[in-house]
Amino acid sequence: MRIAVLYNFDFAHLPEGVERRSQDAILGVRAAVEAALCARGAQVRSIPVASAPADFVPELLAERPELVVNLCESFAGEARGEMLVPGLLDLTGLAYTGSGPLALTLALHKDKAKALLRGCGVTTPDSALIERLPDLEQVSVALPAIVKPAREDASIGIDRHSVVRDKSELRRVCERVLREHRQPALVEQYIEGRELNVALLGNPPRPLPISEIDFTHLDPSLPRIVTYAAKWDESSPEYLATPPVWCSLPEEIEQRVYQAAVAAFTALDCRDYGRVDIRLSPEGVPFVIEVNPNCDLSPGAGFARAAEASGLGYEDLVWRLVEVARERGP
């Protein structure tokens, strides 16, 4: 079987270091996926998607693969351009893994995603979009709140100061997001409670075992959130004190969490695989905080760990993604 693996390589110009680590991770994912496919006898060609728009399309058409594994997380250096890759793939008529342009667009426009979730009856924290600082005058979101860039993923722009408890902090963090990330800030009610990750696989989506972030050893002065440092800076206190662990829940609450995850995944028109992040309140109410289509496929990442807990080793998981995409068709 001829398979092309598309991965973004639009960050080579950036200086190496922690700030680039979330982008660098894609190179390890590409190598792991390619190795898993080759182990099953596939003829694999990896094609980088660099900064020049659509340069990869002629090469892809010349290759004429039976399937494209889409690992692109950005396009021309912009996370918001991620949806252009499946859009171009749709125009070529080639079958590919993962969600299409609509799901990726919605997931990276957090305010639109949350509006759609609410419209579909999915519980999500109250929120407001801040496009200019004067917008803060109309904000009615209860404090404490978490402030994050409205068009990013991988916890980019989220740090230990992102949870705000008064209007002065709220204004300061919103101003920083607007200035440094050149995009709106999302102000979202902070839900005190457990943070759960639900991986989903297949069409219709099947939930895999739930994991959660263990905040037990986190400094009490720090907010119980997953910051950029917690994900990518191995030397940071947040990284060392927020390990993922398997989650044990009463059956009734577990079913509520699964139902919320599936409903959110479906509402955003996701397909094949993804992850839904949930804050579980002390009262047992699951609040959907993020929907992550085409989530990280690293062998050590949460999705692969959840698949392994369900009986799918990494090689089996990668091949299952191929089967899922082929079953769905172009």
What is the spatial distance between Cα 226 and Cα 237, in angstroms, rounded to a whole number? 12
Q: What is the pLDDT of residue 21?
A: 57
Q: What is the pLDDT of residue 75?
A: 79
Kindly report the CATH class assigned to 192-328: alpha beta
What is the spatial distance between Cα 200 and Cα 72, in angstroms, rounded to a whole number? 19
How far the first Cα of the chain sits from its last, in Å, is 16
Locate the domains of the chain by residue range: 2-98, 124-189, 192-328
| Cross-strand bridge partners of residue 68 | 4, 96
Q: Exposed e or buried b for every residue in 294-321, given b needs 16+ CB within 10 A?
A: bbbbbbebbbbbbbbeeebebbebbbbb
Provide the pLDDT confidence category of residue 330 given band limits of 50, 70 and 90. low
Concatenated DSSP letters of 38-59: HHTT-EEEEEEE-SSTTTHHHH
Q: What is the pLDDT of residue 153?
A: 85
What is the spatial distance between Cα 314 and Cα 312, in angstroms, rounded to a whole number? 6
Provide the pLDDT confidence category of residue 80 given band limits of 50, 70 and 90. confident
Task: Name which of 44-58, 176-190, 285-299 the model is least confident about.
Answer: 44-58
Percent of the chain with pLDDT over 70: 95
Q: What is the pLDDT of residue 50?
A: 81
What is the spatial distance between Cα 286 and Cα 121, in angstroms, rounded to a whole number? 12
Q: What is the pLDDT of residue 23?
A: 65
| Cis ω before 207 (30° cut-off from 0) | no
Give the DSSP H/E element, type plus range, for residue 110.
helix 110-119
Q: Could you confirm whether domain 2-98 is CATH 1.20.1560.10?
A: no
How far lies 305's CA from each of 100, 208, 282, 298, in Å?
24, 10, 26, 9
Provide the pLDDT confidence category of residue 53 given band limits of 50, 70 and 90. low
Structural contact between residues 124 and 145, judged by C-beta atoms closer than 8 angstroms = no
What is the spatial distance between Cα 145 and Cα 126, in angstroms, rounded to a whole number? 9
Q: In the chain, helix, strand, coil percent, each to 5?
A: 40, 20, 40
pTM of the model: 0.94
Tokens of 35: 């190795």
- In the block, tokens 């079958």 appear at 95
CATH match for 124-189 among 3.10.450.50, 3.30.1490.20, 3.50.50.60, 3.90.550.10: 3.30.1490.20
3-state secondary structure of 303: helix
Instruction: Read off the DSSP letter of residue 93.
Output: T
